[in-house]
Structure 1
């Protein structure tokens, strides 16, 4: 399938106001089959393709994300007649959250800089102390190290609800809307990341479950949606965090409850990139973790590949 006339690949990393009527008109003219007619159902999981992660001036811009975005949307257009369902997540944050500077104070009276790593032993030594929710915060860092084998990372303020950085990239919006109109099916936009007490990389669950919070555990509604599809493709940002953790959540659940699902998952490897950290090689970390998932059934694909049916 050819790319629609309204699409401009040079705008993949830019912010603009999409022409929704033109998008929908082009989709109607494409004469795509309705999604409900699909016997073989394909779902695309678009992870956090937002301004703060993709735009070069985004507050947590991921190197390579602009080209990842261009390849992703062009893959969607080329395979529009075969994609049944789109789920697009939106990382969505508030000012006071455990992974932001304001939550912590150092022994020098200053808040931590972005990309600071806070270890449980740092809290015990009073190098870093929480400014609120002291018991939970201290226990959280310890649980993160023991259960998730991770260290708390302090992030730049990003994807703040109400800001431009929270917005989905316009070219991604165009592709999603084109597919929705052409295939007569609405996308699922998933808001994640609003729980103050936990990081929330995975689309499906926070890093440490928070029982009292809305969606503070595993999102079974999304798991059940995934299970209704024969093929699942994963793309977005960042490979080292939200893409990786979303995939790990899927493999943890289906590995236990429905192992036959594991060979349905495809990672679009040229449509995702790792966070650039001044001290940690997150790309190497992500590849090591993904290799474990590949050994269990995860398949690699690239944007030049057609959807498998």
Structure 2
């Protein structure tokens, strides 16, 4: 296999709580992308990674952990400070309780073929910070090392050159993960058919697409040339 092309697949948060019919934070048609992702898992990516939101019950993103009247899921926002620098803050939407450690909602959906996944990343375990990205919490001055997933090192160790991101949701965790992958220096793609947005309209998917493209991330198709290049790698070389 050519040493100058080592692609990785990152499957973001394909979990019960993000999928109909029973997910507390279900993304419309979230389950429908599983067959497409399973097809991608059959391709010879050098690293196949699945991520999970894996929150403690007291997580800062849960509306129920905040006082009334500003604790309404979806409509209330809070300002979260960097635990190590209160001058650095993030404004974040509050959500219903979701993906709590040890609950059925935190499990990957059974339709996903995890037998082909090399590595599992459990993110969002630090109760103090929101963490949409599979790499880090959003703070940079300084980075909250306690919240880091180790994903950056996993990709470096595998000598990855290109990162393909799929999963849920386009306008939140997929977006942040892809932007961080590009910031780490990887040629980064989001596979359009293998992701769904919380808001499929212009303010969700549309805005996320513009932000991703501004960060250097490309939207590609399962039938595009980028994945054809992955298919051209011989399985015996992986």
How would you bin the TM-score normalised by the shorter chain? 0.7 to 0.9
Q: Please say if residues 43 and 85 of structure 1, whose CA atoms lie closer than 8 Å, have aligned partners that are also in contact.
A: yes
Residues 213 and 269 (structure 1 numbering): CA distance in 2 closer, same or farther, change over 3 Å?
same
Which residue is 1:164 aligned to?
104
- Shift in Å at residue 71 of structure 1? 1.6
What's the secondary structure of 1:267's corresponding residue? Answer: strand
Please give the secondary structure, in 1, of the residue aligned with 2:193.
helix
Aligned residue for 2:38? 73
- 1:300 maps to 219
- Which of 37, 41, 62 is residue 100 of structure 1 equivalent to? 62
Taking the aligned partners of 2:2 and 2:103, their CA distance within structure 1 comes to 38
Equivalent residue in structure 2 for 1:289, among 201, 211, 214: 211
Counterparts of 1:135 and 1:292, CA distance in 2 = 25
- Please give the per-residue CA displacement for 1:210-265, whole angstroms capped at 9, x wherever unaligned: 76762348854135246x124321111111011110111122232xxxxxx43xx2
Q: 2:53 matched to 1:91?
A: yes
Measure the CA separation in 2 of the matches of 1:230 and 1:212. Answer: 25
Secondary structure at the residue paired with 1:214? helix
Mapped partners of 1:273, 1:113: distance in 2: 24
TM-score, with normalisation over the residues of structure 1? 0.63
Instruction: Give how far 1:162 is off.
Output: 1.0
Residues 45 and 235 in structure 1, CA contact (< 8 A), matched pair in contact too? yes
CA contact (8 A) 1:102 1:111 kept: no
* Residues in 2 aligned to 1:282 and 1:214: alpha-carbon distance in whole angstroms: 30
Q: 2:193 aligns with which of 264, 270, 281?
A: 270
**1:224 is aligned to 2:156:** yes
Secondary structure at the residue paired with 1:269? Answer: strand
TM-score for the superposition, normalised by structure 2: 0.80
Q: Is the 8 A contact 1:195 1:213 kept in 2?
A: no
User: How has the CA–CA distance of structure 1 residues 244 and 211 changed in structure 2, closer, same or farther, with 3 Å as cutoff?
Assistant: closer
Q: Any conservation in 1 of the 2:189–2:219 contact (CA below 8 Å)? A: yes
Task: Choose from 138, 143, 147 the match for 2:89.
Answer: 143
* Cα distance in 1 for residues equivalent to 2:82 and 2:192: 40
C-alpha offsets along residues 171-207 of structure 1, whole Å, 9 cap, x if unaligned? Answer: 21x2x31x36xxxxxx110110011111000011012
Deviations 1:117-150 (A, max 9, x none): 3255xxxxxxxxx9xxx996xx48x711xxxxxx
Please state which structure has a larger fraction of its residues in strand. Answer: 2
Q: Does 1:48 align with 2:6?
A: no
Residue 220 to residue 56, structure 1, CA distance change in 2 (3 Å) = same
Structure 1: how far apart are the matches of 2:2 and 2:176? 29
Secondary structure, aligned partner of 1:250:
helix
Of Structure 1 and Structure 2, which has the larger fraction of its residues in helix? 1
| In structure 2, C-alpha distance between the alignment counterparts of 1:267 and 1:164, rounded to whole Å | 28
Segments of structure 1 that go 5 or more residues without pairing to the other structure are 1-36, 121-129, 145-150, 181-186, 255-260
| Structure 1 counterpart of 2:131 | 200
Unaligned runs of 5+ in 2: 231-238
